[in-house]
Amino acid sequence: MKLVVGLGNPGNAYRNHRHNVGFMAVDALHDRHLGSEWREKHSGLLSRAMIAGRDVTLLKPQSFMNLSGRAVLKAVQAMGLKPADIMVVHDELELPYAELRAKLGGGHGGHNGLRDITAAISADYARLRVGIGRPAAGPVDAYVLSGFKKEEGAALDGLLARAADVLELAVGQGIQAAIDLTTKPQRKK
């Protein structure tokens, strides 16, 4: 992996929402590896970090979730990358809270950020799906744009640390190693 993209919505109003767990995971990876200062570039916030002995670019699109493809396309074109060089980290309704699953390619599953990225560069990029679970009742959009419950928030740091572990593994050993790790029964910290 040469580019790790975290999905979310920009601004303090969205900072702690479930939909921003992709931003949070990339921030955890950035902090762990003392990434460079975030700077505005390619319609997003960009940083670089040395991860598993490799120079990796971190990107948080700033064009809101549904338009994430624009920032990814700009970065891909500027860096001369192909989709196989990219890992996108995003929230996943179809996984229980705190479960992680890495995968390569596939559909967007109704996720508008993935839909936009796929339209911009194809579906052949890796993903780290971070489980946020489905709401017990009410509209999905209100759920993803809300904060974590108290017990979820207490486990969030552990979840983000595990997400950073999987991202490191994907960078260092490839997506298949990350897939293998996340398809085994997971222990929650």
DSSP, res 184: S
pLDDT tens by residue, the chain, 189 residues: 799 999 999 999 999 999 999 999 999 999 999 999 999 999 999 999 999 999 999 999 999 999 999 999 999 999 999 999 999 999 999 999 999 999 999 999 989 999 999 999 999 999 999 999 999 898 999 999 999 999 998 999 999 999 999 999 999 999 999 999 999 765 554
Domain boundaries, the chain: 3-183
Q: How far is CA 1 from CA 7, 119, 136, in A?
A: 16, 20, 36
pLDDT at 184: 74
Rounded CA separation 128/126 (Å):
7
Identity (one letter) of the amino acid at 5? V
Is 90 an annotated catalytic residue? Answer: no
Q: Locate 93 and state its tokens.
A: 């309704």
> Which CATH architecture describes the domain 3-183?
3-Layer(aba) Sandwich (3.40)
The pLDDT of residue 1 is 79
Q: What is the pLDDT of residue 187?
A: 55
Choice among 17, 19, 42, 111 that is catalytic = 19
- Among 1, 29, 19, 25, smallest CA distance to 160 is for 25
Q: What is the pLDDT of residue 186?
A: 55
Three-state SS annotation for 116-157 = HHHHHHCCCCEEEEEECCCCCCCCHHHHHCCECCHHHHHHHH
pTM: 0.94
Number of alpha carbons in the 13 Å side-chain half-sphere of residue 112 = 11
